[in-house]
């Protein structure tokens, strides 16, 4: 009956809601220890140059080996950490690890591969963020140009001017800048004008076929055209098929990141792939 359906629906929501509340509590209670105990691990996902089909960069993506909840990807904990502010700490951990890694590549005589890191808009309100980041790269002897900082287009809803200021400062220190998830929400083409970004990452939503395939292809092609015309690098995200790769080659997209080429992987696997190291 409708009433039964209603009751089970309510208790279903009750149960999942309760579970979510419990999980959030577990995550918040274990986050500091997680950092102390090295439970967080950086995965790298290669970015491929479409002309050479070689690895031309990587994105650092955080993972958590949680003692009771298991292997967690960011969707489970990043929103919680964004809300409680712990993301500031976690991001700094990521930046430090990335600096160590770049330093080790430089010291071993390899050509260092640029790495991009994600930045939360929480950092924009931190007084010394830019200085601290600069000190970090300096203390590892890593040129700032090897680090690209990705900021999602959704961050630009609020504090737009403040974000632009911080990006200008980062740019002046030599960091590369990237607009992430372009085309996923309410992108404004004007943002491309206002921001000192080197790279635009086009969200995978732009390349997933829909019933209006021809139209969405035109939108994607023209977006990439604008990005390249502005002399910025166009990176297509979430590319899973050969068909998508061929389409992107045709329209002169610069780089691709997606499961078609490689999924995010542990650092050691990435080094084997990019530097032909034997495991
Ligand atoms: P993002 O920065 O847009 O990263 C790309 C996401 O797309 C990653 O998800 C990646 O695993 C996924 N992806 C890549 N290729 C494909 C594909 O071909 N198909 C599909 N379906 N997905 C693909 P992930 O690792 O789960 O990260 C999700 C988001 O969490 C990231 O989106 C980023 O916004 C955030 N994030 C991850 N690590 C960090 C971090 O260290 N700090 C901060 N602040 N945010 C992070
Ligand atoms: Mg990103
Ligand atoms: Mg993205
Ligand atoms: Mg995304």
pLDDT tens, residue by residue, 185-221: 877 788 888 899 999 999 999 998 665 788 889 999 9
**For ligand 1, atom 6: residue with the closest CA:** 238
| Rounded CA separation 91/40 (Å) | 11
Spatial separation of the C-alpha atoms in residues 53 and 260, rounded to whole Å: 12
State the closest ligand 1 atom to the C-alpha of 203, by its place in the atom list counted from 1. Answer: 3
What is the rounded average pLDDT for all residues in the chain?
93
Distance from residue 204's CA to the centre of ligand 3 (Å): 8
Of the listed ranges 4-13, 47-56, 137-146, the least confidently predicted one is 4-13
- Give me ligand 2 centre to Cα 175, in Å: 15
Q: Evaluate the CA torsion angle 259, 201, 253, 167 in order and state its sign.
A: negative
pLDDT in the model for residue 16:
84
The per-residue pLDDT for 216 is: 87
Instruction: Fill in the DSSP letter of residue 32.
Output: H
Q: Which residue's CA is minimally distant from atom 23 of ligand 1?
A: 238
Q: In the predicted model, what is the mean pLDDT of residues 49-62? A: 97
In terms of Cβ atoms closer than 10 Å to its own Cβ (0-12, 13-18, 19+), residue 56 is buried
Pick the residue whose CA is nearest to atom 34 on ligand 1.
Answer: 118
- Residue 181 C-alpha to ligand 4 middle, in angstroms? 5
Out of 44, 48, 74, give the residue to mutate to test ligand 1, the one with the largest number of ligand atoms within 8 Å of its CB: 74
CB 44 within 8 A of CB 267: yes
Q: What is the 3-state secondary structure (H, E, C) of 126-177?
A: CCCHHHHHHHHHHHCCCCHHHEEEEEEHHHHHCCHHHHHHHHHHHHHCCCEE
pLDDT single digits (tens) 68-80: 999 999 999 999 9
Give residue 100 CA to ligand 4 midpoint distance, Å: 25
Confidence of residue 278 (pLDDT cuts 50, 70, 90): low
114-173 pLDDT, tens digit per residue, is 999 999 999 998 989 999 999 999 999 999 999 999 999 988 888 889 999 999 999 999
Lowest mean per-residue pLDDT among 16-30, 88-102, 259-273: 16-30
- Cα 2 to ligand 4 centroid, rounded to whole Å: 39
């Amino acid at each position: 009956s409708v009433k039964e359906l209603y009751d089970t629906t309510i208790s279903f929501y009750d149960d999942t809601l309760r579970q979510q509340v419990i999980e959030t509590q577990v995550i918040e209670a274990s986050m500091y220890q997680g950092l102390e105990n090295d439970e967080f691990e950086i995965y790298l996902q290669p970015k491929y140059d479409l002309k050479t089909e070689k690895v031309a960069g990587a994105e650092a993506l955080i993972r958590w080996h949680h003692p009771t909840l298991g292997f967690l990807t960011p969707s489970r904990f990043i929103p919680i950490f964004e809300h409680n502010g712990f993301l500031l700490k976690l991001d700094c951990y990521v930046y430090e690890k990335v600096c160590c890694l770049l330093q080790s590549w430089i010291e071993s005589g390899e050509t260092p591969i640029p790495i991009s890191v994600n930045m939360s808009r929480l950092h924009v309100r931190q007084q010394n963020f830019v200085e601290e980041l600069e000190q970090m790269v300096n203390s590892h002897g890593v040129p700032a140009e090897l680090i690209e900082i990705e900021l999602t287009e959704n961050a630009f809803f609020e504090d737009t001017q403040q974000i632009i200021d911080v990006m200008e400062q980062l740019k002046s220190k030599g960091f590369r800048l990237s607009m992430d998830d372009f085309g996923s929400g309410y992108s404004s083409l004007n943002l491309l004008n206002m921001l000192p970004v080197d790279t635009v990452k086009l969200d995978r939503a732009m390349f997933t076929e829909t019933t209006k395939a021809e139209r969405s292809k035109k939108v994607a092609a023209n977006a990439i055209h604008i990005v390249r015309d502005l002399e910025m690098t166009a990176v297509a995200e979430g590319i899973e098929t050969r068909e998508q790769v061929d389409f992107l080659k045709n329209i002169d997209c610069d780089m691709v990141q997606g499961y078609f080429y490689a999924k995010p992987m542990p650092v050691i696997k990435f080094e084997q792939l990019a530097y032909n190291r034997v495991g």
